[in-house]
A and B are shown apart, each in its own frame.
Chain A
Amino acid sequence: MAHTQISKYLPPDINPTQAAIAYGCRALPKLNEELQSEDLLTRQKALMALYDLMHDPEHVYTAIRIGCLESLKDLLMDTNDLVRIKTTEVLYIMATHNVGRDGFLEHDVIYALSFLLSDPQSACRENLHLAFKHLAQLPAGAKGIVNSSLIPSLVGKLQTEEERIQELLLDTLAACLMEDATEALANRVVPFLKEKLLSANSNIRSKAAQALIAVSIPLEGKNQVWQHDIIPILVHLLKDKEEEVQASAAGALMYVTVTTKGKYAALDTEAIGPLLELLHSPLSKARLNAIKVLTMLAEAPEGRKILQSHVPTFRALKEDTSAAVQRAAQIAVKVIEWKP
């Protein structure tokens, strides 16, 4: 039978890996102080505790307000691997929240993070790229990444990193390139993407295709894509097994064929056939993109000639479930039947 007395010993530490979280509003300030302590163990424990707390957006807000980001930035430079890994994890979690993203932009965390691009620990880099990816979802964040001239290094990393991290990089790049693609184009991103399109990993292929979509929005990108002969690869990818890949390839083609050169290049590689098949794909994105590409191609007289016979398919698509597809189909019909 246990004693009714209150024991004079402190309760056992059930989780010695975590620092004790103080009660209520003292939790974060205390952790902040512990983060700045000289003792390695204290810092590590504080980081573990912080990681748990950062899943709550309110805590994220409070943490940023009391200046946790400064301590975290200092910890990024720490020599101990675990500390760095944990810090990047914490930052990544913060980046999934909008408050965190804003805080990142205000406190210049991107610059501090960029030092870790060549960190020897792969976990560290993975978290880093996850943080960047989430940051890039926000337009302001993407702009921030572009402004801090990280694009060249990111493009360079595309070559050297592992697959997992490459996927993240491609996502980040896709988002950033939507914002501003000129710098990347200057850094030969198109040949890299071309390689990635041929990769074995289907995730990488689809993400590379999405990045290509972003690249080919500006005119310069379209020209480069045409120059590097990526259009045949894209057409080939239209027949890929993965639907995502197909859809993304169609999207890239959609942009590339806006230029006349692109149109004729696509027509030369017999793109119309796979595209017509894609019209029946279950993925609405694929259908949409395919319709768009065909619309582009129909502006060229040769394309129009071929597509005239397929007008009924388009009419059928006007009854599609997705409103966007209906609209697109309408436009396509109009374009095909246009007489100069």
Chain B
Amino acid sequence: MPRRTGLPPKPSSRNFPEVPLPAGTLGCWATGAGGAGGLSAAPSKPSVAPTSCPGNFPSRPLPFLPPLLASRNPCPWHYVHLSGSHDTFVATCFEPKLHRKRSGLTLGVACTLTDRASPAMATYTYTSRPRALPGRRRCYRDDQMQQAEEPMHYGNIMYDRRVIRGNTYALQTVPLPEQPDPAEIQRQQQAKRRALAKKRAQEELRPRTPEPVEGRKHVDVQTELYLEEIADRIIEVDMECQTDAFLDKPPTPLFIPAKTGKDVATQILEGELFDFDLEVKPMLEVLVGKTIEQSLLEVMEEEELANLQARQHVHEELRNVELAEVQRLEERERRHREEKERRKQQQWQVVHKHKETAQKIAARAFAQRYLADLLPSVFSSLRDAGYFYDPVERDIEIGFLPWLMNEVDKAMERSMVGRTVVDMLIREVVGKRLSLYERKEDRHSSLKPEDGLSGPGGMRDPPVGYEFQDHGASQAQRPLPDTDSLQRTPYDAMYMERVSSQDRKLMEEEDEQTNEEILQE
């Protein structure tokens, strides 16, 4: 494994301790890239490939490792982001790593940044930083072994006896040392002590600088050309390195099978794969077709509409005309009908009038005729009714005769009255006589009253008591005629009737007179 050491170039822009330029070229030994390239770029540029820490030159102070900078080196493992704030780097020194034993080295070399640099920028973060194990220490520390006594070396693994070399399949397997016997342990310890003692002795024998004179002190001084800063603190620089995982294997070459068969060549000329016209044709057809279809539809629609309109107009014309004709005819009919009605009316009226006049004439004629002999008949009927009279005659009738009759009546009345008086007298007399006779007859009680006498007597009594007027008179007179008619001679009857009638009349007249008197009263 090539080991490269070298000092990093001096980045001038950084606050950086001066580091001597390495003699050799820097570079990532892992990728082998860019060390020279990076350096051969402007040396002022901080394209620094962090070096691997070789740990194997304990005799020679290793140069400082520069802090890791943003490397232009495409090496992926040495690429560490650094921010601009990383100006303050502390130079690390891998001095302490020198103290380690050679053999106790871990795989590869890990370089780490100081913690001063931002830990986030480190590739790895640790809870405990890796460090090379000290070599030759026991796993189990039974004794209190002073570690300072033993030379603690960390060594290169390559030169570590514990690592098996060679093929492992024919290894003489060393039986694992079990717990060694205490004797063995003693012996080994003895050997060690002896070795130590020997070494100490040798140390003492070694020439040393003499002791300082009193009052003086030995001081270590650097006498080289370039002073070296010796710091208390060990400059540590973390370096990392990682192998390219797959670097070992080069890329497999392309498998190109052996050529078999015939060689045939072909070439695609311009326009063979794609002919614009051909390709465009169907699309164009569709586009144009659709447009034309649509427009055809619209045009046809309009045409249809126009046709329809035209037909409709024609039809409407005809319809209008027909309708007008119909209306005209209707109107005409109406007018004619109305005319007819009117004429009929007129005619009817005329006829009516005619009839009326005829009737009137007839009526008049008839009336005339009827009334023609009205007058004589009227006169005759009137005359019959006695409306035409002779005044003298009338006068005689109305005036004279009633008077005459009155006078006659009076005369008769007088005679009647006379007769009545006479009758009364007679009756009275007769009555008295009768009473006398009755008294006598009572004594005798055998005499029958004569009808004829009683008759007149009876007749006379009422007139005596003519206060009793009608009733009595009539009663007396009624049986009188009856009896008289039966028994008397017709002459007497007649006479009696006459007398009675005259009496009646007289009575009536008396009544009348009394009435008149009452009335006059």
**Set of chain B residues within 8 Å of A292, measured between Cβ atoms:** 321, 324-325, 328
Q: Is A137 located at the chain interface by the 8 A CB criterion?
A: yes
Which of A14, A55, A259, A289 is in CB contact (< 8 Å) with B321?
A289
**Cβ of A86 to closest chain B Cβ, rounded Å:** 16
Q: Mark A282-326, 1 if CB is under 8 A from B, else 0.
A: 001100110010011001000000000000000000000000100
User: In the bound complex, do residue A328 and residue B323 qualify as a contact, i.e. CB atoms below 8 Å apart?
Assistant: no
User: In the bound complex, do residue B273 and residue A4 qualify as a contact, i.e. CB atoms below 8 Å apart?
Assistant: yes
Q: How far is the CA of A243 from the CA of B297 in the complex (A)?
A: 33
Q: Is A56 located at the chain interface by the 8 A CB criterion?
A: yes
Q: Is B440 located at the chain interface by the 8 A CB criterion?
A: no
User: In the bound complex, do residue A1 and residue B271 qualify as a contact, i.e. CB atoms below 8 Å apart?
Assistant: yes
A248 to B, closest residue via Cβ: B320
**Set of chain A residues within 8 Å of B301, measured between Cβ atoms:** 55, 93, 96
Total count of chain B residues near the partner, CB < 8 A = 28
B326 to A, closest residue via Cβ: A258
User: In the bound complex, do residue B274 and residue A55 qualify as a contact, i.e. CB atoms below 8 Å apart?
Assistant: no
**Cβ of B424 to closest chain A Cβ, rounded Å:** 115
Which of A14, A55, A258, A284 is in CB contact (< 8 Å) with B328?
A258
User: In the bound complex, do residue B328 and residue A295 qualify as a contact, i.e. CB atoms below 8 Å apart?
Assistant: yes
Using a CB-CB cutoff of 8 Å, which residues 325-371 of chain B contact chain A? 325, 327-328, 330-332, 335
**Set of chain A residues within 8 Å of B320, measured between Cβ atoms:** 213, 251, 254-255, 289
A286 to B, closest residue via Cβ: B317
Q: Is A217 located at the chain interface by the 8 A CB criterion?
A: yes
Which of B273, B323, B325, B331 is in CB contact (< 8 Å) with A331?
B325
Q: Is A2 located at the chain interface by the 8 A CB criterion?
A: yes
A251 to B, closest residue via Cβ: B320
Q: Is B190 located at the chain interface by the 8 A CB criterion?
A: no
Given the interface pairs A55-B297, A55-B301, the reply to whether A217 lies near B323 with Cβ below 8 Å is yes
Q: How far is the CA of A237 from the CA of B273 in the complex (A)?
A: 75
User: In the bound complex, do residue A96 and residue B271 qualify as a contact, i.e. CB atoms below 8 Å apart?
Assistant: no
Q: How far is the CA of A96 from the CA of B324 in the complex (A)?
A: 29
Q: Is A52 located at the chain interface by the 8 A CB criterion?
A: yes
A-B contact count (CB 8 A): 66
Question: Which of B305, B323, B331 counts the most chain A CB atoms within 10 A?
Answer: B331
Which of A137, A255, A285 is in CB contact (< 8 Å) with B324?
A255
B274 to A, closest residue via Cβ: A2
Q: How far is the CA of A284 from the CA of B320 in the complex (A)?
A: 13
A55 to B, closest residue via Cβ: B297
Q: Is B514 located at the chain interface by the 8 A CB criterion?
A: no
**Set of chain A residues within 8 Å of B323, measured between Cβ atoms:** 217, 255
Q: Is B298 located at the chain interface by the 8 A CB criterion?
A: yes
Interface of B is mostly: helix
Q: Mark B43-55, 1 if CB is under 8 A from A, else 0.
A: 0000000000000
Q: Is A201 located at the chain interface by the 8 A CB criterion?
A: no
User: In the bound complex, do residue B328 and residue A296 qualify as a contact, i.e. CB atoms below 8 Å apart?
Assistant: yes
Q: How far is the CA of A296 from the CA of B335 in the complex (A)?
A: 13
**Set of chain B residues within 8 Å of A260, measured between Cβ atoms:** 331, 335
**Set of chain B residues within 8 Å of A284, measured between Cβ atoms:** 317
Q: Is B270 located at the chain interface by the 8 A CB criterion?
A: yes
Question: Which of B279, B287, B321 counts the most chain A CB atoms within 10 A?
Answer: B321
Which of B270, B287, B294, B298 is in CB contact (< 8 Å) with A1?
B270
User: In the bound complex, do residue B331 and residue A258 qualify as a contact, i.e. CB atoms below 8 Å apart?
Assistant: yes
Given the interface pairs A259-B331, A285-B317, the reply to whether A1 lies near B273 with Cβ below 8 Å is yes
Q: How far is the CA of A2 from the CA of B298 in the complex (A)?
A: 37
Q: Mark A82-108, 1 if CB is under 8 A from B, else 0.
A: 000000000001001000000000000
User: In the bound complex, do residue B321 and residue A288 qualify as a contact, i.e. CB atoms below 8 Å apart?
Assistant: yes
Q: How far is the CA of A30 from the CA of B297 in the complex (A)?
A: 22
Given the interface pairs A217-B323, A258-B331, A296-B328, the reply to whether A1 lies near B318 with Cβ below 8 Å is no
Q: How far is the CA of A93 from the CA of B287 in the complex (A)?
A: 23
Question: Which of B305, B317, B320, B332 counts the most chain A CB atoms within 10 A?
Answer: B320
Q: Mark B301-331, 1 if CB is under 8 A from A, else 0.
A: 1000100100011000110110111011011
Using a CB-CB cutoff of 8 Å, which residues 208-262 of chain B contact chain A? none
Q: How far is the CA of A190 from the CA of B287 in the complex (A)?
A: 53
**Cβ of B283 to closest chain A Cβ, rounded Å:** 9
A255-B323, A260-B335, A324-B318 provided; 11 other pairs, C-beta below 8 A?
Answer: A4-B273, A14-B287, A137-B312, A258-B328, A258-B330, A258-B331, A284-B317, A292-B325, A296-B328, A299-B335, A324-B317
Instruction: Rank and list the top 8 A-B pairs by shortest CB-CB distance, nearest first.
Output: A55-B297, A254-B324, A258-B327, A258-B331, A285-B317, A2-B274, A55-B298, A292-B324
- 28 pairs, A vs B, C-beta closer than 8 Å: A2-B274, A2-B276, A2-B279, A4-B273, A55-B297, A56-B297, A96-B305, A137-B308, A217-B323, A217-B327, A254-B321, A255-B324, A255-B327, A258-B324, A258-B327, A258-B328, A288-B317, A288-B321, A289-B320, A289-B321, A292-B324, A295-B328, A296-B324, A299-B328, A324-B317, A324-B321, A328-B321, A328-B325
Which A residues lie at the B interface, using CB under 8 A?
1-2, 4, 14, 52, 55-56, 93, 96, 137, 213, 217, 251, 254-255, 258-260, 284-285, 288-289, 292, 295-296, 299, 324, 328, 331
